[in-house]
Amino acid sequence: MAQQPEQNQNMINVQIKDDMQSGVYANAASVSVKENDVLIDFGYILPGVSPTTIKVQSRVNLSHTTAEQFLGILQNALLDFRNRKKEGK
C-alpha cells in the first residue's frame, strides 16, 4: 500500500499579535546592508515639516538569505498584482 503524504506537510501557521493587526503605514524606506545583516527602516514622511522629516514606524533586521528571499517574494507579488490589474480582475 502506498503511503499518502501528510496534507499539513507544507503548511505554515502565521500568527500576528493583536496590537499588530492593523499594521503601520509607510511611504518611505531606507535599506542598510552590512556584512552580516540587512536593516530596513520603514518610515512616514511628516507633512508640512521643514526640513523634511521621516518618522521611523518599523525597523526590520534580516539575514542576507532572508532579505534575498523577501526581495523575490515582493517582486513576484507586485508582478502578480500588475498582471491582475492589466487583466481587469
SS3 state of residue 67: helix
d(CA 57, CA 29): 10
pTM confidence score:
0.74
- The domain spans of the chain are 23-86
pLDDT digits (tens, 9 = 90+) for 10-44: 899 999 999 999 999 999 999 999 999 999 999 99
Rg (CA), the chain: 19
pLDDT digits (tens, 9 = 90+) for 49-70: 999 999 999 999 999 999 999 9
